Structure 1
């Protein structure tokens, strides 16, 4: 293999979805090189990235250990990595019933948490004008999503099969964002205490800590260069 790392990960220094892929690569001990695309310059929508991912979004992975196999959409990447590189199911569901439950939560994360949290972030921080009704709508939906999770986590420690899996991992980056200022006036420890405890358990994992240290380093370097 001519590449120094097994995977190339096209991502963004701040975008939560790219960090999901990094988290699982780290958990599985797989080597990867991150290419941080500059969204302000539109690098995600130009070559070479758009030649790999016609949707022009992050993340995209290239698996150099599997004939340069290319895959995009973050939760599809999680499933691929788990199925190919976690044969003992240490981080994924093993029974048929749990596999469907795992899919249920991955779909909920992708169709519920990601879009609502993302739209809240857009209208709060990036939209050219303030639209209070949009911020109120998406803040309410973000709280609702966390409420769904809190209700489930009141009954069990993990979402699927009584163990930490990619279903849990998929929620980490956006939940961190939601717990640290995305939702106006929201105190996750008070309003979703079971989510808060679940998140803290995940953030304490060595592989997760390593990725967040990498993220802090990248962002600090970016800030100092400005």
Structure 2
């Protein structure tokens, strides 16, 4: 059984959804990032960048245990393990990979910054709020245009690119975006949200995540604790 070290965040939900879509048995080990659980020695042994999610598969590619961190790498691993949600042909595979990289390098970091400066930053900085809100709207526009030409993000088939992007768009209000302004994206979003495996994946750890961040959690996530040597 795969062990999943995770929390109810967009990056965590990517892996929860993928596991549910693949029908793989897994056990969740909560890593409360607001309390600093990500800095424990046990977790750092499998996720040296102190970020969730991470997995341990007792039956790796060579029959031996394997641990992985970084949600994109985990999605690729699980897709390979099950032979699902990543095309076998070279052209189709790279079509998916480029959109996966788009999420990892753009959607996640930029929308994360929008969340930070619009909601979590102790000081409201107009320049930063405008910068990342505009970038969020730009990225939504890129996705909307793509979905006006393609059924799914990377082509005709649902893939790990859709699984990677979808959780980040659930907080569109916090990103200064109106979903109705992106009709192609909204149609895709509603379809993905209706998938039973997606709904099950989003339920994972959702009851344990606190809706509001207290000062201790703020310090753990954004203060000196984050920059100590662990």
Q: TM-score, normalised by structure 1?
A: 0.87
| 1:85 maps to 2:82 | yes
Distance 1:76 1:50 in 2: 17
Distance 1:73 1:113 in 2: 15
Shift of 1:68: 2.5
Counting only pairs closer than 5 Å after superposition, residues 188-203 of structure 1 correspond to structure 2 as 188-189=179-180, 191-203=181-193
Q: Which runs of 5+ in 2 are unaligned?
A: 215-230
Instruction: Give the structure 2 partner of residue 108 of structure 1.
Output: 102
Instruction: Give the structure 1 partner of residue 198 of structure 2.
Output: 208
Shift of 1:216: 4.1
Which consecutive segments of 4 or more residues in structure 1 shift more than 4 A?
Answer: none
The number of residue pairs the alignment matches comes to 209
Q: Check conservation: 1:93, 1:161, Cα contact below 8 A.
A: no
Counting only pairs closer than 5 Å after superposition, residues 59-138 of structure 1 correspond to structure 2 as 59-66=53-60, 67-86=64-83, 89=84, 91-138=85-132
Which structure has more relative contact order (CA 8 Å, sep 6+)? It is 2
Shift of 1:21: 0.6
RMSD: 1.7
Q: Which runs of 5+ in 1 are unaligned?
A: 1-5
Range with bigger deviation, 104-113 or 36-45: 36-45
| 1:31 maps to 2:48 | no
Q: Check conservation: 2:107, 2:168, Cα contact below 8 A.
A: yes
Instruction: Give the structure 2 partner of residue 12 of structure 1.
Output: 7
Q: TM-score, normalised by structure 2?
A: 0.85
Distance 1:210 1:75 in 2: 20
Instruction: Give the structure 1 partner of residue 165 of structure 2.
Output: 171
> SS of 1:171's equivalent?
helix
Instruction: Give the structure 1 partner of residue 15 of structure 2.
Output: 21
